[in-house]
Chain A
Amino acid sequence: MAGSVIVITSGKGGVGKTTTSANIGTALAHLGYKVVLIDTDIGLRNLDLLLGLENRIVYTIVDVVEERCKLKQALVKDKKNPNLCLLAAAQTRDKSAVDADQLKDICDKLKEEFDYVLVDCPAGIEQGFQNAVAGANEAIVVTTPEMSAIRDADRIIGLLESKEGVERYRLLVNRVRPKLIKSNDMMGVDDVVEILSCDLIGVIPEDTNIITSTNKGEPVVNDEKSLAGMAYINVAKRITGEDVPLLDIDEPTNFIDKIKKFFAKKA
């Protein structure tokens, strides 16, 4: 059975596409699936940094397309998990170095061998987006609870609907801050889902561990204590078809919050 190609996209930049790709990929590999991550952000690659594989890259996707190497040679294996591979983007070229058909070919070849092919999409709706979406049969739209990100996500969903290959798309709400939602300073997850009228695949809370893990080059999923890491593992499980309830992210963590919650219930 051929694996599925999942594109991770958002339209707006800085909402956490690359972080999501790295973490879902690692989580799926932990679950025992064979996963390959494709970075299509040619010229502004970051996925290799998040995985800590920067120093292992010899060949890139551009080398594969221009037939300087075989596809297998360009795949970089993860340090810890042999189930996880990375096909890196070239840093010294730009998006026009690859076209949609070539990327579709690569995805088709890879999905024969791997259970999941995750494509990290660049920001924007230009050539880079068109390339990334070309081979995909599933999509995860990443957004944050902000008007600008939601508007861009809406545009992306519209474009995905018009694509033939993409069978289903689901929404991932990233960087959610339960405190702000409670005080009505941030849109709730329900509101976002309602505005976009789209299936939800997961909610990721804002987590400072993400910053440190990015700098260390180790996905946050490897940190068992991290709330965001747990949320990503749940997302990975939902991708595989498992039915996992949403993580309770607004659980009060300290004593004072618990007292506040107690009184709030009484009132």
Chain B
Amino acid sequence: MYDNEYFVVDMASCTSTGEIINSLSLALETLNHSGKKIVLKLNESYLNQSQMLSIQSLITSYGCILDTVETINPDTAKIAENMNILVQKPIEKRVDDSYETSSNKDFEPFSIQLNRKPDDIALKDVTGLHFEADLDAIQKQQNDININLDLKEAGVNPRSDFETIEEQISNQYTKPEDIIPNVEEYSKIVSPMESLDFPEVQVEEKQEFENAEKNSIGVYKKAYDENQLQDDEWEEVDFYETPTNDPVISDTKNTTYINQTLRSGQILEADGNVVIIGDCHPGSEIRAVGDITVWGVLSGIAHAGCKGNINAKVRALKMNAVQLRIGNCYSRRPDGTNIPYIIRSSIFTPEEARVIDGEIMLFKINQN
């Protein structure tokens, strides 16, 4: 329904303006669309006038024109119309499907009813809904327009001074920094090796060799009985139970996704969380400031919270890690438990490693 000079950006899954601006600028940056007309799919999210203006000026700064907005939110539709932007109601998939099935004779009576241009339906519906918008929303819009007018009075041109407007908008929302309580903790970054407290042996040199045993690291243990689990496999689980664990701070950090197998000798370092879709072979190493999640067999070394976060976690579909390190806690795999390289998927038991009283313990995922 749109030809070549249009560029359709689907923002239906975005909920906040920040998200929309972020993904929109990414989409515009990655491809060259200068001179194209942008079709913004917004679905039901509500945008006030200043937000809409900032999006428009963002698009114009990339040399494009915001031509059409697809929305089912009547308030957003009205604001867009005020700004001389075309408004359309998104065509639901159901309509398309019935078009296809309309050739089927069984559905003939329905096909007559639906055999209209989808554009007509959209326009009619949008205009119909316009006047049903509630008073509160209109009042809200009025306030937003007032803000915009204030800006104009202050000599700010909203189209050119995009950053100023963004500031205005961001003041209305809580910043992510305000939500995270201990940001300063992360700024006290020590290199992972320095942060380890090995017992300092300051006696004579010869005794140091005898005391070398003290440096040996403990084994990680399972916090549940493995044999018992197999019996309880069909135990009924209350899926509607509310989670008791408080969300971990590191979850708010950025996440790196790796879609490949990590091989021997490869190091993966990340300043947030890490998700690996693949196996981690023996001899590989993962160091992350946040959590580590491996969608596969973890056989290498994993160091979660490598800058001192002891609440970090390591998860894997099959935990076979040579060593697990969380914060400054170290643990190793028990002797003689190495499972061979090729593993049948039937013995996968997803596990999570956490630090309990300075010891690394393995929990079955979702086990409290």
Contact = CB atoms under 8 A, between A and B. Distances in A.
Nearest to A75: B212
B21 interface: no
A57 B213 CA distance: 13
Interface in A42-95: 43, 45, 52, 54-58, 63, 68-70, 72-73, 75, 77, 79, 82, 85, 91-92
Tell which of A54, A70, A85 has the most Cβ of chain B within 10 Å.
A54
A113 interface: yes
B265 A92 contact: yes
Interface string B82-97: 0000000000000000
Tell which of A55, A79, A91 has the most Cβ of chain B within 10 Å.
A55
A91 B283 contact: yes
Interface in B247-287: 264-267, 282-283, 285
B265 A91 contact: yes
Interface in A199-223: 217
Contacts of A73: 198, 212, 215
B173 interface: no
Contact of A55 (B265, B283, B332): B332
Contacts of A82: 213
Nearest to B194: A68
B285 A92 contact: yes
Contacts of A54: 282, 322, 338
B335 interface: yes
B223 interface: no
B175 interface: no
B221 interface: no
Interface stretch (B45-53, B201-209, B226-234, B290-298): B201-209
A77 B213 contact: yes
Contacts of A68: 193
Contacts of B332: 55-56
A107 B205 CA distance: 16
B201 A58 contact: no
Interface string B309-345: 0000000000000110000001011010010000000
A55 B330 CA distance: 11
A92 B267 contact: yes
A45 B264 CA distance: 10
Contacts of B27: none
Interface residues of A, number: 23
A77 B209 CA distance: 10
Contacts, number: 53
Given A63-B193, A68-B193, A72-B212, A43 B323 contact: no
B13 interface: no
Nearest to A45: B283
Contacts of B349: none
A113 to B, nearest CB: 5
Nearest to B199: A73
Contacts of A77: 212-213, 216
A58 B212 contact: no
B12 interface: no
B189 interface: no
B282 A69 contact: no
Contacts of A85: 212
A55 B335 contact: yes
A108 B322 CA distance: 31
Contacts of B133: none
A45 B265 CA distance: 10
B180 interface: no
A196 to B, nearest CB: 35
A179 to B, nearest CB: 32
Given A91-B264, A92-B266, A92-B285, A58 B335 contact: no
Contacts of B217: 56, 58
Contacts of A217: 338
A75 B266 CA distance: 23
A78 B245 CA distance: 40
Nearest to A72: B208
Contacts of A58: 215, 217, 323, 330
B290 to A, nearest CB: 21
A72 B322 contact: no
B102 to A, nearest CB: 62
A92 B285 CA distance: 8
Nearest to A53: B335
A72 B330 CA distance: 18
B265 A79 contact: no
B201 A55 contact: no
B193 to A, nearest CB: 5
Contacts of A56: 216-217, 332
Nearest to B337: A55
B206 A113 contact: yes
Interface in A216-261: 217
A58 B282 CA distance: 14
Contacts of B283: 45, 91-92
16 contacts: A43-B265, A54-B282, A54-B322, A55-B323, A56-B216, A56-B217, A57-B323, A63-B193, A69-B193, A70-B208, A72-B208, A75-B209, A77-B213, A92-B266, A113-B209, A217-B338
Interface of B: 193, 198, 201, 205-206, 208-209, 212-213, 215-217, 264-267, 282-283, 285, 322-323, 330, 332-333, 335, 338
Q: Across chains A and B, which 9 residue pairs bring their CB atoms closest together, nearest first?
A: A55-B332, A55-B333, A91-B283, A68-B193, A72-B208, A55-B322, A92-B267, A91-B265, A92-B265
Given A73-B198, A92-B285, A217-B338, 20 more contacts: A54-B322, A54-B338, A55-B323, A55-B332, A55-B333, A55-B335, A58-B215, A63-B193, A72-B208, A73-B212, A73-B215, A75-B212, A77-B213, A79-B335, A91-B283, A91-B285, A92-B265, A92-B266, A92-B267, A113-B205
